[in-house]
């Protein structure tokens, strides 16, 4: 459910005509809907309502900043009470700048540097999710040097097949993430013994765009057994982080993924009697449907075998199709009711710069505006300047108002960041 809709044959974001934004800002441009962000966050939070900790705390919904780190997006969610799951010092700085209180920030990631650990501990974040024994030693050293105590949760690798795309599966034994299950009790004991660490719990995140709850159910069962085993061994477990990963509908011709309510029911069932504070790290589920990428048709080019629609967005603006073979619904902003079979490509000099192959789309011609739907997650954040294309701008809509929340990068600014070696001038 999102707030992009047709009004008299034109695609609107809430009360704003997307063509008006394209005219003002140019294309390509990402447009996000506040109402959709609010709705998705609220639906997710409400699905977990009542699951309070022994101290009466509601679950911490730590939005995975990497899905869409735009400051205005994070600030919108922070105002609703969201926390942040960050995976770098940059995301930590963003979350803080967007107004997420440190006590709602969780730091995840498989390769935190000591400088990043120090930044997180200095900020006083809620929890560091640790992914290995060596990281425990490093974090202990950093915390001790700073004279603080680091709240630590261990990320387990449950050895579960998340049944998603191989590049976004993270819970298999041979994925780089987490600590193998059989080493968790010893690692937890190690965390208890090292100075500067306060072990608070465990967590898991098995992958992204999960369309089947069974792997999550298996993972939660494993987490539940661990909670019991650790406690039986005399170790305190106050929190369990259930990770993110809930899939969203990209294609209307495929079965709908589980809803937040389905997920909430599973969490309710699986975590009964745990007596912990729950944490979740949803990313895509919150922002995916809240964004579109608006682009203009540069030319329509008949080939021998197929018709190419060349648009002004490219793989550097929206990488998911070339990286994962991901599908984004493509539509005209003002469809004329005709259709065509087209291969939609960007102008970048790579054959992989393809958004859709031989797909039936709204009939378009040169100059028409199109939208890539469901582009709010892992869209702008993965953009690059490949082919010396300026970083794509971003707009936030709220009701009938909108704001340019990241302007298009100027090519001069891109050049100004570089230096010609002195011997070449």
Ligand X SMILES: *Cc1c(COP(=O)(O)O)cnc(C)c1O
Catalytic positions, please? Answer: 349
What are the tokens at 189?
A: 């004991």
**Residue 328 Cβ vs ligand X, minimum distance, rounded to whole Å:** 16
200 binding ligand X? (CB under 6 A): no
Q: Tell which one of 104, 284, 328, 389 touches ligand X (CB under 6 A).
A: 284
- Cα–Cα distance, 140 to 121 (Å, whole number): 11
206 binding ligand X? (CB under 6 A): no
Contact 347, 38 (CB under 8 A): no
Residues numbered 103-142 forming contacts with ligand X, rule: CB under 6 A: 108
Q: Binding string, 244-263, against ligand X, x = CB under 6 A?
A: xxx-----------------
Q: Taking the CA atoms of the chain, what radius of gyration do you get in angstroms? A: 23
Residues 6+ apart with CB under 8 A from 261: 43, 47
Contact 339, 251 (CB under 8 A): no
**Helix, strand, or coil (residue 201):** strand
**Helix, strand, or coil (residue 289):** helix
**Residue 67 Cβ vs ligand X, minimum distance, rounded to whole Å:** 4
Q: Tell which one of 11, 18, 22, 67 touches ligand X (CB under 6 A).
A: 67
**Residue 244 Cβ vs ligand X, minimum distance, rounded to whole Å:** 3
Q: Tell which one of 64, 142, 152, 279 touches ligand X (CB under 6 A).
A: 64
Q: Which stretch binds ligand X (CB under 6 A): 74-82, 111-119, 134-142, 276-284?
A: 276-284
Residues numbered 318-377 forming contacts with ligand X, rule: CB under 6 A: none
Q: For ligand X, which is the closer residue by CB, 283 or 335?
A: 283
Contact 80, 41 (CB under 8 A): yes
- Cα–Cα distance, 386 to 299 (Å, whole number): 21
How many chain residues are in contact with ligand X, going by CB under 6 A?
A: 16
Q: For ligand X, which is the closer residue by CB, 19 or 323?
A: 323
Q: Which residues of 237-272 are buried (b: 16+ CB within 10 A; e: fewer)?
A: bbbbbbbbbbbbbbeeeeeebbbbeebbebbeebbe
| Residues at the interface with ligand X (CB under 6 A) | 64, 66-67, 85, 108, 205, 208, 243-246, 281-285
């Amino acid at each position: 459910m999102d707030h992009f809709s047709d009004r008299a044959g034109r695609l609107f974001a809430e009360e704003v005509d997307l063509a008006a934004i394209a005219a003002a800002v140019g294309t390509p441009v990402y447009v996000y809907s506040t109402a959709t962000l609010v709705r998705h966050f609220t639906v997710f939070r409400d699905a977990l309502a009542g699951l309070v900790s022994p101290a009466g705390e509601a679950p911490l919904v730590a939005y995975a900043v990497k899905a869409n780190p735009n400051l205005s997006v994070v600030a919108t969610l922070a105002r609703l009470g969201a926390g942040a799951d960050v995976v770098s010092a940059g995301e930590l700085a963003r979350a803080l700048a967007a107004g997420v209180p440190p006590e709602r920030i969780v730091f995840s990631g498989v390769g935190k540097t000591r400088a990043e650990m120090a930044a997180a501990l200095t900020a006083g974040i809620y929890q560091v999710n640790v992914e290995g024994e060596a990281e425990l030693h490093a974090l202990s050293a950093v915390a001790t040097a700073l004279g603080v105590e680091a709240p630590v949760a261990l990320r387990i690798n449950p050895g579960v097949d998340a049944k998603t795309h191989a590049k976004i599966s993270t819970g298999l034994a041979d994925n780089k993430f987490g600590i193998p299950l059989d080493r968790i009790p010893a690692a937890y004991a190690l965390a208890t013994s090292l100075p500067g660490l306060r072990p608070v719990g465990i967590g898991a995140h098995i992958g992204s765009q999960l369309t089947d709850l069974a792997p999550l159910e298996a993972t939660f069962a494993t987490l539940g057994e661990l909670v019991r085993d650790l406690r039986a061994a005399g170790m305190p477990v106050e929190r369990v982080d259930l990770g993110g990963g809930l899939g969203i509908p990209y294609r209307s011709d495929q079965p709908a993924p589980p809803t937040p309510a389905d997920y909430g029911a599973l969490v309710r069932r699986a975590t009964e009697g745990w007596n912990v504070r729950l944490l979740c790290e949803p990313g895509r589920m919150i922002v995916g449907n809240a964004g579109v990428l608006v682009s203009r048709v540069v030319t329509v080019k008949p080939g021998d075998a197929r018709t190419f629609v060349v648009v002004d967005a490219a793989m550097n603006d929206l990488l998911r199709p070339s990286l994962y073979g991901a599908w984004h619904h493509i539509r005209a902003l003002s469809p004329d009711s005709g259709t065509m079979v087209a291969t939609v490509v960007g102008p970048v000099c790579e054959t992989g710069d393809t958004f859709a192959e031989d797909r039936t789309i709204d009939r378009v011609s040169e100059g028409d505006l199109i939208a890539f739907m469901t582009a709010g997650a892992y869209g702008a954040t993965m953009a690059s300047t490949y082919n010396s294309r300026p970083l794509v701008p971003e707009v936030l809509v709220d009701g009938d108002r909108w704001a340019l929340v990241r302007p298009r990068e100027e090519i001069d600014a891109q050049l100004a960041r570089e230096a010609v070696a002195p011997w070449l001038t």
